[in-house]
Structure 1
Amino acid sequence: MQIDDKVLANLEKLSHLRIDESKKEEVKNQLTEILAYVDNLNELDTKTLSATFSTLEGGTPMREDIPQGDDTVAKDILCHAPNTKDDFFIVPAIIE
């Protein structure tokens, strides 16, 4: 898939990002390269692999889930957000 000006403009709108005019061509090329790389993954034969396949011996290591209980982390993060309410981020709607 080739990223063109129309697709890039739509991505900018959906992501609420502004790409400088001098960088747009570079970004289009980079996104096109990424999509081409991901498209190469379609060539892999994964029919014989289990859905739980892992390259790690014994699967993915797990850690104990221990709640930290430190409320200052959330408050520190939220104090830098442009808009918050009741300990939540307020963001613009992106669904058209």
Structure 2
Amino acid sequence: MHGYKEPTSARSSASCVCSAGGRVGPSGHKEAQIERLKAQNPDLKDRVTDRDAAIEELTEFKKLSLSRLAAQRDEIMRSRSPQSFPEPAPPAEPATLPRARTTV
């Protein structure tokens, strides 16, 4: 794997200019960059956390929406079906009950 290589112009100079205006050696520049990245890290972690929460919320919304759409589709399909209004069943024949025996 390839490592990071500084440009030749940066390696040849003994020092570079810091954003504060002071002269800093090559190792000081790297340390300043490390500190800047460390300062940015919490903000980036917060952004990732916020995005994860938004994704989770949108995923739940999507599930609910798809569920509702499926239920609506099922209802429409049932209402369009010719079997949705079935013919009434013929009346059942009255059951014949055995007559009570009477003793004379």
TM-score by length of 1: 0.29
Higher relative contact order (CA 8 A, sep 6+): 1
TM-score by length of 2: 0.27
Which has more radius of gyration?
A: 2
